[in-house]
Amino acid sequence: MRRYEDALWKKEMTLIYDFSNLMDSFIDASAQDPGFRKSVGAISEDDLNAMMPRISKARESLSRKWGRPSRMLAWTRLPHSQKTVVADILRTAARVRRKFDNFVVLGIGGSALGPIAVHEALGHPFYNLVSREERGGGPRLFIEDNVDPERMNALLTMLDPARTCFNVVTKSGNTSETMSQFLIARDMLRGAVGDRWRHHVIATTDKKKGNLIRIAQEDSLKTFVIPDGVGGRFSELSPVGLLPAAVCGIDIEELLSGAAWMDELCAREDIRTNPGWMSGALMALTMTRKGKNIQVMMPYSDSLKTVSDWYAQLWAESLGKKYTQRGRVIHAGQTPVKALGVTDQHSQVQLYTEGPFDKVITLLGVGAFRSDVAIPEGYPHIPDLHFLSGHTMGELMNAERMATEFALTKAGKLNQTITLPEINAFTIGQLLYFFEVQTAVAGELIGIDAFDQPGVEEGKISTFALLGRPGFEQKRAEIAARPAKNRRYMIGF
């Protein structure tokens, strides 16, 4: 029996979403100085009750679309529907692990941030630096999500092409960044291994649309499909994230079972016991009624640091919209900010505690760390130092999280905590899926389309035009006709 099939273990490993400190019964309203105009903006039971009819309506409307590719909600099926794909991924990963020393993911946005977050959460903290044995037999992993020429040059000179496998990941199959990386990698491989370059490339893309699938078919590349109705930022639990994770030895079946468990929790009828719906509703309230324009994601664990990067894309790209679904101008969104506990206690927390009442701070906590370090005995004659001895770094980390939570609450700053009992594939699967549901629910309640990204597309199209892609001449002319810069506003050194 796999451990996630054990009901007791599953219960012990269930995430806890604690939103007490969003509520007016916890937030210290006296933190709002007399005469100071800005409201603390805590949420009352009345606020929640008043929202219930809207939540019920949103549930009805969203449940009609749940799972439907045509409404971009097919990501909700990923935890349940990939048996054959998972088997193929595991076979392919085993081959990659046997044959290659390096696995390089070429992708950007949703094609990179999820794989990075899962790898950092579940892999060895110094994965590429330790021996292959300590890596569990996996190749080194590089995830290239930019087109910085200096970094690309450095990477290529470091890799032996004959021992390297490239995973090109793009849903649209056309993204300039990823496709230019692919052309560079292919060229390098052809120079080194000739026609066998095809055995060094795996494509992850749409089954029909875009240039990558065309190339994959022409060149007979091993291909994984990103299913219809799964957008880039919602694709981590598809082959986009599962292949790199499996190559590095992460238990992808446990990851998916964590997501499936969260899917079950988010299907609960009673919203007060439903983590995804409750958090989506509360976040929508903070944005629309409580003037919170910023959400800070602050994990108290280095392993969860890049979950904040993944979340920042999910939250910003999904909710940052000019129009409602009915076409009314709204300019919605809540700016995600990334912070790290405890590091940022010594930089940003001063602002969070004493600055404007414009933020919700989300703390991510870990119940038990996978390993701990005891703080040894020393200097008993200095009591101000000696109090640390006998504790562990894990205790220190968690004490600092509680201290920040206390300080924020006392200062009237809205905060919430999500606790992972420990970091493992099951809890990470839950966490990612929880945030996906939260985002979809918040989008539905605000009334925007959480699954498109016209602002991103505009940038992609302008890049095509600037680099001379056929068919984009009109956009090129539009860019050329923009007002010339005024030297009056440019200062040289």
Q: Which residues are catalytic?
A: 317, 346, 460
Stretches 91-99, 167-175, 266-274, 367-375: which one binds ligand PA5 (CB under 6 A)? 167-175
Helix ranges (H only) for 18-163 are 45-65, 83-99, 113-122, 149-158
- Which of residues 140, 171, 200, 222 is near ligand PA5 by CB under 6 A? 171
- Is residue 172 within the footprint of ligand PA5 (CB under 6 A)? yes
- Candidate segments 24-32, 225-233, 395-403, 406-414, binder of ligand PA5 by CB under 6 A: 225-233
**Nearest to 237, CA basis, from 206, 258, 211, 209:** 258
Distance in angstroms (rounded) separating the CA atoms of residues 108 and 454: 17
Q: Which of 85/393 has CB closer to ligand PA5?
A: 85
Residue 341 CB: number of other CB atoms within 10 A? Answer: 22
Distance in Å, CB of 309 to ligand PA5, minimum:
12
Q: Which is nearer to ligand PA5, 231 or 447 (CB)?
A: 231
Q: How far is the CB of 390 from ligand PA5 (least distance, A)?
A: 48
Q: How far apart are CA 261 and CA 44, in angstroms?
A: 30
Nearer to ligand PA5, 316 or 396 (CB): 316
Of 212, 192, 210, 194, nearest to 202 (Cα)?
Answer: 212
| 178 contributes a contact to ligand PA5 by CB under 6 A | yes
- By the rule CB under 6 A, 223 interacts with ligand PA5: no
Q: Are strands 415-420 and 16-18 parallel, antiparallel or unpaired?
A: antiparallel
Q: Cβ(92)–Cβ(202) under 8 Å?
A: yes
Task: Report the 10 Å Cβ neighbour count for 463.
Answer: 15
Site membership for ligand PA5, residue 232 (CB under 6 A):
yes
Residue number, 210 or 341, with CB nearest to ligand PA5: 210
Residues ≥6 apart with Cβ < 8 Å to 224: 85, 88, 89, 92, 202, 203, 204, 205, 239, 243
**Binding of residue 97 to ligand PA5 (CB under 6 A):** no
Q: In the block, which residue shows the tokens 């390089």?
A: 104
Whose CB is nearest to ligand PA5? 232
Phi-psi region of 129 (alpha: psi -120 to 50; beta: other; left: phi over 0): alpha
Min separation Cβ 199 and ligand PA5, Å: 23
Cβ(259)–Cβ(430) below 8 Å? yes
Contact between 229 and ligand PA5 per CB under 6 A: no
**Options 14, 21, 76, 170; binder of ligand PA5; rule CB under 6 A:** 170
424 part of the interface to ligand PA5, by CB under 6 A: no
| Shortest Å, Cβ 233 to ligand PA5 | 4
Restricted to residues 337-396, the positions that interact with ligand PA5 (CB under 6 A) are: none
Least Å distance, CB 130 to ligand PA5, is 30
Map the footprint of ligand PA5 across residues 299-318, applying CB under 6 A.
317
- Interface of this chain with ligand PA5, residues 268 to 287, rule: CB under 6 A: none
* 436 is a site residue for ligand PA5 (CB under 6 A): no
The smaller minimum CB distance to ligand PA5, of residues 109 and 276, is found at 109
Of the pair 233, 321, the CB lying nearest ligand PA5 is at: 233
Residues contacting 119, CB < 8 A, separation 6+: 127, 141, 143, 244, 245, 248, 250
Given the complex with ligand PA5, which of 212 and 361 has the nearer CB atom? 212
Taking contact as CB under 6 A, which single stretch among the options 20-28, 47-55, 172-180, 294-302 is the one that binds ligand PA5?
Answer: 172-180
3-state DSSP assignment of residue 203? strand
Question: Measuring CA to CA, which residue among 334, 359, 331 is closest to residue 455?
Answer: 331
Angle between helices 45-65 and 275-288 (to 10 degrees): 120
3-state percent breakdown (helix, strand, coil) of the chain, nearest 5: 50, 10, 35
Alpha carbon distance 468, 286 (integer Å): 44
- 453 part of the interface to ligand PA5, by CB under 6 A: yes
Site for ligand PA5, rule CB under 6 A: 108-111, 170-172, 175, 178, 231-233, 317, 453, 456
